[in-house]
Structure formats: C-alpha cells, structure tokens
Structure 1
Amino acid sequence: MLGITAAVLFFIAFLIDAATISTNEVFSSSNFMLIGLAALALHVAGIGHGWAVRRRGQGRRR
C-alpha cells in the first residue's frame, strides 16, 4: 500500500514540475518527492505490510 502511495506522490511531483505550476512552499514538487521517498522507505522496511485483516482458522480445508 505504501508503495502505491509513493508512486502517486512521485507522479504528482512530476506533474507539478513538468507543468511548471507555481505553488506555495508546502505543495512544491520537492516536498512531494520527499514524502514519496519516506513512503517508499517505509514500504521497503516492511511497515504497512500487515494491514490486511487476517482471519484465524479460515485456511484451505481438504
């Protein structure tokens, strides 16, 4: 999930940079890239991997 979030943030940063949209300092392309890098680092570290709800005893039965 964090990997997808990072990809979206990188895409937004690219659009801001490519379109040369003038934004305030909070929504600059470099800030989006830094937040995307943080999300990507958390994804690689394994944070957010266990967000899916796991049910006990619901395995494959033969």
Structure 2
Amino acid sequence: MFALAAALLFVLALIFEIAGVAVGSVVTVTTLALAGLLCVALHLMGVGAGWSLKR
C-alpha cells in the first residue's frame, strides 16, 4: 500500500516539476519527493504488508 502511495507522490512531483507548479509554499516538488521517499522506506520496513500473528 505504501508503494502505491509513493508511486503516486512521485508522479505528482514529476508533473509539478514539468509544469513548474507549486501549491503555496508548503507543497512543492521537494516535499512530494520526500513524502514519496518516506512511503518507500515504510514499505521496505514492512509496514502495512498485511501479515498478522493469527494462529
């Protein structure tokens, strides 16, 4: 799930970079890229993988 969110954030960052768009001073290409990297890190850690300790 985090991998999908990361891909979406990277696509948005790419579109913003190509179009030269920034939504205010908070949402920029850098913030979207960093949020995407955070999602990739969470995905690689196994967060949200869907496994459980059911017996």
Q: State whether TM-score is above 0.5.
A: yes
**TM-score computed with the length of structure 1 as normaliser:** 0.76
Q: Aligned pairs, how many?
A: 53
Q: Which structure 1 residue ranges, 5 or more long, are not aligned?
A: 57-62
CA deviations 1:3-57 (Å, max 9, x no partner) are 0000000000000000011431211010000000000000011001017xx8x7x
The question of 1:16 aligning with 2:11 is answered no
Q: Indicate how the Cα distance of structure 1 residues 22 and 39 shifts in structure 2: closer, same or farther if over 3 A, else same.
A: closer
**TM-score computed with the length of structure 2 as normaliser:** 0.85
- The letter of the residue matching 1:9 is L
Identity rate, percent: 34
Q: Which structure 2 residue ranges, 5 or more long, are not aligned?
A: none
Q: Indicate how the Cα distance of structure 1 residues 22 and 35 shifts in structure 2: closer, same or farther if over 3 A, else same.
A: closer
Q: Which runs of 4+ in 1 moved over 4 A?
A: none
Determine which structure has greater relative contact order: mean sequence separation of CA pairs < 8 Å that are 6+ residues apart, divided by chain length: 2
Higher share in helix: 2
Kindly name which structure, 1 or 2, has the bigger radius of gyration based on alpha carbons.
1
